[in-house]
Amino acid sequence: MEIIAVFRIESFNDTKVTTYTKSQKPKKSKFEPIDSLPLFASEVIKIGRGKACDVRIDNPAISLHHATVWSVQFDSDTLPLVYLNDSSRNGLLHNGRDMRNGETRMLKDGDTIEFKTAGVFTYETLEGEEDTQDKSNITIETWNISDSLIGSGSFGSVFVASSTTNYHKLYAVKVLRPGSNNSEYDLLRGVQHLPLPKSRIYICDFGVAKKLTYSRTSTSVGTIEYSAPEVFNIDNKGKAAVPYGYKCDTWSLGIVTHVLLTGISPFYSESKEQTLLQARQGQLNFARKQFALVSKSAKEFLLSLLETNPRLRVDIDGCFECAWVVRNRSKLEKFYRDKIVGTQN
C-alpha cells in the first residue's frame, strides 16, 4: 500500500501512544510505542483508549473511541483527501480550534490535532505533493473554495468548499467551463439534453439526449420531474402534440437551480400525474421558508427559466443577461480562470 502522509506525535504528561504491530506469529503481535504514524491510501484509523482502536492513547481524558482519520482518493490523477472525525466526549482541537462531537474536518499539510492533556498529532503530506495542486484559495462572498481538487472532467472540476460563516460543514462545488467560451458549446447547441436531474450532474450522460438535425423535435423522453411541460404534452402515439425546441433545456436548468438554492424540487409529487399537473401550472411558492435567504434577482432568474410558455421562456443566451448572473459573472469568470485555466497551463 502507498503511504500518503505521516502523523508526527508529541505526547504530554507521560502519555503513551501505541499502535498494533503485526507478526507472523500471533502471540508476538502487540502494541508498540510510536512517535510517528504513517497513513496509507484508503486507510481508516481509529484512535482512542479502547482495545478496538488502531492507535491507543493511554490517558484517562481520552474516550474509548476518540477520533477517526481516513483517506479518500477518487482517481489516480487527484490527491487523496484526508478527513478527521471527532467522536469524543472531551473534544479535540484542530489547529487550536475546538471540534464538536460528530464533526468532520479535512486535513491539510501542517495541521495539528490536539488530544487535550494527552498529546499533539501533526499531519505532514509526503514531500512534493504540495506542488501537484494549485495552492490558492478563492473567496466568493461568504464562500471559500479551497485548493483541494476532488476530480476533473471534460466540462469542469470539483473542489472542496466551505462557508466562511459556518466552517464546520464541507461542500463539493463543481466549477463548469463557461460554454460560450468553449468548443463544447457548439456541440451542446446541437444536443437537447431534455431532463437534467441534479443527481446526475456529476456525469455527462447522453443516454436521454437526442441529436438534432432540425430546430424542433417531438420525441417524448426523460425524467418527468426535470422535463419541460411541452415535452410530455403527448398525443395517443406518444409524440409531443406540439414540437419543442432548445428551451426545454432551460426549463431543466431552472429545476436544477431551484433544487440548488432551496434543497427542494418545485413541482415534485408522489405521482407522475400530479407532478405533470403542477409543472404545467408552473406556480412557484416563494413564501416557503426555503426561500428566506434567496435574493430577489435569483427568484426572477427562476421565473424566467420556469416559464410554462416556451415562447416566453428565456433561452441560454438570455440566461447570461439575467441580473443574478450579470451581478456575479465577473467573480465566477475570475474563479474559472484561476481554478480551471490556471491548472491547464
Q: What is the pLDDT of residue 221?
A: 43
3-class state of residue 18 by DSSP: strand
Into how many domains does the chain fold?
2
Distance CA 308, CA 259 (A): 18
Work out the end-to-end distance of the chain between its first and last CA atoms, rounded to an integer number of angstroms: 32
Cβ(176)–Cβ(201) under 8 Å? Answer: no
Query: Looking at the predicted structure, is the pLDDT value of residue 304 above 90?
Result: yes
Query: Do 184 and 310 belong together in one domain?
Result: yes
Q: Residue 67: beta bridge partners?
A: 47, 86
Looking at residue 279, the DSSP 8-state letter turns out to be H
Burial of 143 (0-12, 13-18, 19+ CB in 10 A): middle
Distance CA 117, CA 114 (A): 8
Q: What is the CATH number of the domain that holds 80?
A: 2.60.200.20
Distance CA 178, CA 200 (A): 19
Cβ(107)–Cβ(170) under 8 Å? Answer: no
Q: What is the pLDDT of residue 104?
A: 84
Domain that holds residue 293: 179-314
Query: Do 65 and 185 belong together in one domain?
Result: no
Query: Do 215 and 283 belong together in one domain?
Result: yes
Within a domain: 245: yes
Per mean pLDDT, which range of 153-162, 277-286, 325-334 is the poorest?
153-162
Could you give the count of Cα atoms lying within 13 Å of 321 in the half-sphere of its Cβ?
6
Per mean pLDDT, which range of 8-17, 241-250, 275-284, 308-317 is the poorest?
241-250
Q: Residue 82: beta bridge partners?
A: 71, 107
Within a domain: 158: no
Centroid of chain to Cα 73: 14
User: What pTM was computed for the model?
Assistant: 0.47
Which comes out higher in pLDDT, residue 273 or 119? 119
Query: Looking at the predicted structure, is the pLDDT value of residue 77 above 90?
Result: no
174 is in an annotated binding site: yes
Within a domain: 336: no
Q: Strands 119-125 and 3-11: what pairing?
A: antiparallel
Query: Looking at the predicted structure, is the pLDDT value of residue 342 above 80?
Result: no
The most confident of the ranges 58-67, 123-132, 181-190, 225-234 is 58-67
Q: What is the pLDDT of residues 262-284, one digit of tens each?
A: 988 898 887 888 888 888 898 99
Q: What angle do CA 172, 178, 181 make, to 5 degrees?
A: 155
Q: What is the DSSP code string of 198-218?
A: GGGTTS---TT-EE-SSS-EE
Q: What is the CATH number of the domain that holds 243?
A: 1.10.510.10
Which comes out higher in pLDDT, residue 24 or 13? 13
Distance CA 247, CA 231 (A): 10
Query: Do 187 and 111 belong together in one domain?
Result: no
Distance CA 142, CA 138 (A): 11
Query: Do 309 and 199 belong together in one domain?
Result: yes
| Band of pLDDT at residue 219, cut at 50, 70 and 90 | very low
Query: Do 112 and 206 belong together in one domain?
Result: no
The domain boundary, picked from 132, 155, 189, lies at: 132
Q: What is the pLDDT of residue 214?
A: 43
- C-alpha cell of residue 290: 426555503
Within a domain: 327: no
Mean pLDDT of the chain: 76
Residue where the block lists cell 499539510: 109
Query: Looking at the predicted structure, is the pLDDT value of residue 195 above 60?
Result: no
Distance CA 278, CA 232 (A): 13
